[in-house]
Structure 1
Amino acid sequence: MLKSLLFLLVVVLVSLPRSELRAADISSGRLYRVGSSAYIVVRGPITAGDADRFKKQALDLIKRGLIPGIVRVYSPGGDVTEALSIGRQLRTLGASTQAPLRLSDYNPTVKPGANACPIGDDLTGKWLYYLPPTGQGDVDCVCASACFLIWAAGTGRHGDVIGVHRPSFVDQAWYGRLPLDAAKKAYDRSVNEAQAYLREMEIPDSIIKTMFAVDSRSMYYLEKRDRLQLYNSSVHLEEVTLARCGKLGAEPSFEQRAKRSDCLGAIYGADKSGAAEYIKRYGGD
């Protein structure tokens, strides 16, 4: 009985009160004006059914001849089981992941602590903003708890605002009533499942240890030295991009941005092997 309940009860604590939880908004679109690369945005708390909604978006894009190349994850956390499923799906796709950017890391004139989340296409898409110290802006513009599990699956992990901590059970009263030996067995199983997944996604043991050193009522945001350990982009692809498309200056014009965006579009989305494997595993008749 205990084993059958575990996946219904285990979550990673979110930074929103549970009374405010709602389903994630999962959307998608073409990433560049040219080429076949597309994006998927997962925005909001991760709840039951989100993995199926993600699958629908991915299959719809592939049927239209588009390749889901990047998954943007902006969420305070939520259901671990759903997060693991989404993570394994995007790893099959070979997609990269994008967490919020911390604007002050790139522009010192920006108020410290401001998060920024792109949600549209590369050239004309909109952005969400959030200032955690004051609570101003869009509260979804974070990536914490179960969001980290999705972000970790990226083949190319981007972003600055990634929060981690140990999992907990939705029904804290139920867990609190368990005898200590039963509580240990229940928690150990949830820990083993999460750690096995993170190792599957090639997360270093040092990061896993950091995550499980933080209690479920606290949050540790990965520092730059932590994020460097998680760097897993295709370096040859980055160098080809630099060679063909160059880098933008501090204040590029729209024409310069458009030229580089079109150049990127001609490069990304060319590899369709991930989409083919996704169809084999997840359907799409």
Structure 2
Amino acid sequence: MSAEPPESGHGDSARTIRRALAGVLAFQLGLAALLFLGDVGRGFSLPSTGPAAPGLDQPARPGDQTRRFAPTDRPARPDSAPMPVRLQLERDGDDAATLRGEIAAGDADLLARRIASMDPTPGILRLDSPGGSVSDALAIGRMIRRLGIATEVGAQAICLSACPYLLAAGSTRRAHPAALVGVHQHYFGENTLLPAFIAVEDIQHGQGEVMAYLSAMGVDLAVMQPALLTPPDEIYLLTPEELQSYRLVTSPWNG
């Protein structure tokens, strides 16, 4: 008596499931690799057929506001000194201080100690920063608001990436028409070697925290639209009119 042939349907189903699982794993590994490369290089981006964005030294006009971005970039101005790699706080007159440099991890704690040591506490904080750590920027911003400090960005200053969160924290806030204030997408978390669904969850959580922060500071959440549409290696420069309409500034610049 001959043996019955194996059920081909069951075998085909098992192979289909294995192929599907292998495809999902390959997708997650590929996305994790892209996230890792972006986190390491910070200048990494997918190939694009469009023209490259101009540099920060090129003037921006409504409808032409996207510029190349790297934390070390700043306009080529005669008085432009190298940007510090950590935030530096210096007294600037009797009632003001200047906060300048990249926002590094741990700067929130360092800045809290610096401001606590100042007597009196500055009433105005002048910003000049290409941004950096989002979590530290939010922590610094909450401290600025708690202390009732006003914020401003001067004519020769920049406030890019995570820096606008500091500007948004001011009890009153203003920006010179020649100042460069810009937003873009952010990185969240330190380790991107994670399954894709975890990486996406971290990004969504980070964006949710940013939105809650901006809402608490009285900023129009519509500012998230140009931010989310601009990749991390570019920056969207906000016009004076947009700064007012998004309520990132509350007072005109009167000298």
TM-score scaled to structure 2, two decimals?
A: 0.61
What is the SS of the residue equivalent to 2:203? helix
Residue aligning to 2:93: 30
Q: Does the 8 Å CA contact 1:156/1:232 hold for their aligned counterparts?
A: yes
Q: Distance in 1 between matches of 2:234 and 2:100?
A: 22
The residue identity in structure 2 corresponding to 1:158 is R
Q: Does the 8 Å CA contact 1:26/1:53 hold for their aligned counterparts?
A: no
Q: Does the 8 Å CA contact 2:137/2:162 hold for their aligned counterparts?
A: yes
TM-score scaled to structure 1, two decimals?
A: 0.55
Larger Rg: 2
Alignment of 1:45-84 (within 5 A): 45-61=102-118, 64=119, 66-84=120-138
**Alignment root-mean-square deviation, CA:** 2.9
Instruction: State the shift of 1:197 in Å.
Output: 0.8
Q: Does the 8 Å CA contact 1:15/1:77 hold for their aligned counterparts?
A: no
Q: Distance in 1 between matches of 2:200 and 2:110?
A: 34
The residue identity in structure 2 corresponding to 1:57 is R
Residue aligning to 2:227: 211
The residue identity in structure 2 corresponding to 1:73 is L
Alignment of 1:1-285 (within 5 A): 15-16=70-71, 22-31=85-94, 38-61=95-118, 64=119, 66-101=120-155, 116=156, 141-159=157-175, 160-169=179-188, 174-175=191-192, 177-229=193-245, 230=247, 231-233=249-251
Q: Distance in 2 between matches of 1:164 and 1:192?
A: 16
What is the SS of the residue equivalent to 1:168? coil
Instruction: State the shift of 1:22 in Å.
Output: 1.9
Q: Distance in 1 between matches of 2:153 and 2:201?
A: 33
Instruction: State the shift of 1:29 in Å.
Output: 4.3
The residue identity in structure 1 corresponding to 2:131 is G
Instruction: State the shift of 1:17 in Å.
Output: 5.5
Instruction: State the shift of 1:21 in Å.
Output: 7.2
Deviations 1:225-270 (A, max 9, x none): 211222324x9xx9xxxxxxxx88xxxxxxxxxxxxxxxxxxxxxx
Q: Distance in 2 between matches of 1:157 and 1:84?
A: 16
Q: Does the 8 Å CA contact 1:40/1:57 hold for their aligned counterparts?
A: no
Q: Does the 8 Å CA contact 2:211/2:221 hold for their aligned counterparts?
A: no
Deviations 1:94-117 (A, max 9, x none): 11111132xxxxxxxxxxxxxx1x
Structure with the larger RCO, 1 or 2 (CA within 8 Å, 6+ apart): 1
Residue aligning to 1:274: none
